[in-house]
Structure 1
Amino acid sequence: MISLVGTGLVMITLRDLFHTLWHPTRHGGLSRLVMTTLWRLARRLRARRRVVGLAGPLAMVTVAGMWAATVVLGWAVIHWPHMPGAFTFSPGSEAAQEPALLDSVHPSLVLVTTLELGDIAPGEGRLRLMSPLESLVGFALLTATVSWVPEIHPALIRRRVLAVRPAVLRGSDSVTQQIDCTAGALLLDGLATEVVRVRTDFTQYAEAYYFHDGEDRSSPAVMIDYVSTLARRGQVARRPEVRLAGDLLAGALKDLAAVLDRLFLHTGDTPAEVFAAYPADHGRTQP
């Protein structure tokens, strides 16, 4: 029964890792709970913007550490009932004189990290067959954690591109007449594409939400309100292609607001109110 508890810990961790990194919805249970908790703690601290800027990277490091610690603990619990009789110890080792649980953590940590020190090794046939599996789980955990970081950065870049383009347009103070042309339709259509990409990124890489965007002009939380303004201007333009592009952008924004509210903000309000809560959650104010 004790070994089954350890097996359950390992399986829960692998499930959380799978749902966080590879499942189409990417909604890890434990990892999302850790990230949300750290985000809320960061919001409550002083020097808010500086602390919030560390929330995303710190959350990823904490989640990776949680996965590693839980896997090591799970395998240690699996070994515990079989310690020390089912294991062989190197000559002169005093490990067998330690508490059984402590002795179980050592081979678990060695096998998960694939170090294979050899001072404590499984001796029974069943445990000897499990040792390569434990090393394989440790190698998969290390590989998945290392590949997790490069997956996030493209999503952050796409999010900042969505913010910088409207920031440049806002500086030129585009009016309805200026976007009521073929170029305006292409502009609104391009913004709609970028909004859809960011919406998809929030679904696939939810942890990207907890990263700080630097200055206001590179933050979609700040600039999304102006994107909504451009969509409304496009919807009342004279040219049908501009109105179509405005409707497309407005629909993409509505979908983005629904994702933000469902996954992060939980306001249950209209898109306009969600986009007002978005910068507030990131410690920013709309211009």
Structure 2
Amino acid sequence: MTWLPTLLGTLLVLAILRDVFHTLWHPTRHGGLSRLVMTAVWRLSAHLGPRRRPAGLAGPLGMVSVVAIWALIVAVGWALIYWPHMPERFSYAAGLTPAEHAGPLDALYISLVTLATLGLGDIAPTSGWLRVLTPVEALVGFVLLSATVAWTLGVYPALARRRAVALRISHVRRSRASADALDSDGGAALLDGLASAVSVATVDFMQYPESYYFEDVDENTALPRHLGYAAALAEQAATARHPDVRLAGSVLGIALADLAESLDDRFLHTNGPARQVFAAYAVDHDPNSRGR
């Protein structure tokens, strides 16, 4: 029955590679291991309450958990491939008794050493296909490392863009600009810029859905706190006298509707209008509301 653990190990490795692919290069709303882990960490942090929960750490902890689970499952998968062929198809360093080092923990040890590209060499495969398979595991380990770096380098710039959008809306909000001031060429340019920034945030949520689970502690850079005001600006622009303001307000309203649709489809599931989605988004990111 050596084929059964080998098959199981192969399926585990392929499942993780598929999850890495869908997380980094082909994000979908249908989930996967990475999304399940991120969601679980987010919900768990909600139940801890605002006093016990480390502020803003749910997202980073979720990413660390995902990478750790990826590495662990890949290591276990390859260990299952090696284990049925130990000790017959492996060579052992002097001082090691093959019969005493042929258990599942020894197979996991070989897998971890290979995955981490340490190459200790105290236990090494001698069979032809196993000798080919071992470097493949090392390549997968390198892929996981590269994927972790690429994921981090992708998510954090997306977070910076999201926070910049929130800060820009916050600037407008705190300026207390009058309706007459916004009903002008400058107001049209302002609304058009906000529409463009909101569209970028929508794309970031599609490309990096894990960024949703990052909580912004600073009120001025927390997008959930300001989307309602942005929606009010778009509604106000609809009644402006200046045609460019009306056009820019309409574009901003459409951009906000697209953002609401993306948030609702992937995370909130309210099936309501944009205002309701933004309210649910704000509640889900409010430390005093989450977990109730």
Normalising TM by the smaller chain, what interval?
Answer: over 0.9
CA drift of 1:217 comes to 1.0
* C-alpha deviation, 1:50, in angstroms: 4.4
Instruction: Provide the residue aligned with 2:240 in structure 1.
Output: 237
Q: In the TM superposition, what is the alpha-carbon distance from 1:27 to its structure 2 partner?
A: 5.9
Deviation by residue 1:133-188 (Cα, 9 ceiling, x = unmatched): 11111111111112211111111111111111121111121232111111111100
Q: Deviations over 1:254-283 (max 9, x none)?
A: 110011111111111111111111110011
Give the letter aligned to residue 208 of structure 1. Answer: S
Give the Cα separation in 1 of the matches to 2:174 and 2:151: 36
Name 1:111's counterpart in structure 2: 114
1:163 counterpart = 2:186: no
* Secondary structure of the corresponding residue to residue 88 of structure 1: strand
Q: Mapping of 1:203-222 within 5 angstroms?
A: 203-222=206-225
2:250 paired residue among 247, 250, 254? 247
Q: Which residues in structure 2 correspond to 1:1-287 (within 5 Å)?
A: 1-23=4-26, 25=28, 28-47=31-50, 50-51=53-54, 53-94=56-97, 96-98=99-101, 100-283=103-286
CA distance 1:138–1:27, change in 2 (3 Å): farther
- Stretch of structure 1 that moved more, 225-234 or 62-71: 225-234
User: Greater relative contact order: 1 or 2 (C-alpha under 8 angstroms, separation 6 or more)?
Assistant: 2
Aligned length: 286
| Gaps in structure 1 of 5+ consecutive residues | none
Q: CA RMSD in A?
A: 1.7
Counterparts of 1:248 and 1:96, CA distance in 2: 72
Moved more, 211-220 or 245-254: 211-220
CA distance in 1, matches of 2:213, 2:174: 28
Give the 3-state SS of the residue equivalent to 1:91 in structure 2.
Answer: coil
Name which of structure 1's ranges 21-30 and 244-253 shifts more when overlaid on structure 2.
21-30
Give the Cα–Cα distance (whole angstroms) in 2 for the partners of residues 26 and 114 of structure 1.
34
TM, length-normalised to structure 2: 0.94
Alpha carbons of 1:158 and 1:49: their partners in 2 closer, same or farther (altered >3 Å)? farther
Distance 2:75 2:288 in 1: 44
TM-score w.r.t. structure 1 length? 0.95
Q: Could you list the per-position Cα deviations for residues 20-59 of structure 1 after superposition, in whole angstroms to 9, with x for gaps in the alignment?
A: 0111548650110011111111111122584351100000
Q: Which stretch has the larger CA shift, 87-96 or 207-216?
A: 87-96
Structure 1 114/44 Cα, relative in aligned 2: closer, same or farther at 3 Å? same
- After TM superposition, where is structure 1 displaced by more than 3 Å over at least 4 residues in a row? 24-28, 48-52
CA change 1:127–1:176 in 2 (3 A) is: same
Pick closer, same or farther for the CA change 1:123–1:56 going to 2, 3 Å.
same
Name which of structure 1's ranges 86-95 and 183-192 shifts more when overlaid on structure 2: 86-95
Name the % identity. 51
For 1:273, the aligned partner's letter is Q
Letter in 2 for 1:22: W
Question: Does the CA contact (< 8 Å) of 1:112 and 1:137 recur in 2?
Answer: yes
Unaligned runs of 5+ in 2: none
Confirm or deny: 8 A CA contact 2:59 2:215 kept in the other structure: yes
Tell me, in whole angstroms, the C-alpha distance in 2 between the residues paired with 1:275 and 1:23. Answer: 26
The aligned amino acid for 2:268 is L
